[in-house]
Amino acid sequence: MTEEQLKQLIKQGESQTLDFKDARIHPRSLAETLAAFAAADGGVALIGVSDNGTIHGVSDYERVRDKVIYEAASRNHCDPQIQPIELERIETADGKIVIAVTVPADYETLHSVGGKFF
């Protein structure tokens, strides 16, 4: 995804299939969003974008990536784990990094986080 495509996506605003997440998001909270996407029509979480659409970026791409893969989408929080997910690193012209986490729809599996189904 290019920076321009990212900005166009942000202009659409949050919806059932698009959510903006601060880079400091707790893995369980992110897991709830990913499970909800999987239970519905799929979706994209943009990590490093505030609720008002401001791009703040992530300061440590690898740490946030690992938080998504090894915690939020894994069996640490999701039962069963959410897979496949796609992570894309998007760098803006001013050096800010946003991570786009794409979750496909999974109509055959109910995912729970902490015993709560989405």
For position 47, what pLDDT does the model report? 96
Residues 75 and 12: their CA atoms lie apart, in Å, by 32
- pTM for this predicted structure: 0.93
Out of 23-27, 45-49, 66-70, least confident range: 66-70
The burial of 51, by beta-carbon neighbours within 10 Å (0-12 exposed, 13-18 middle, 19 or more buried), is given as exposed
CATH superfamily of 3-106: Schlafen, AAA domain (3.30.950.30)
Domain boundaries, the chain: 3-106
β-sheet with 112-113: strand ranges across: 78-79, 112-113, 116-117
Residue 53 bridge partners (DSSP): none
For position 101, what pLDDT does the model report? 95
Please report where in the chains the tokens 């090894």 appear, as a residue: 70
For position 71, what pLDDT does the model report? 86
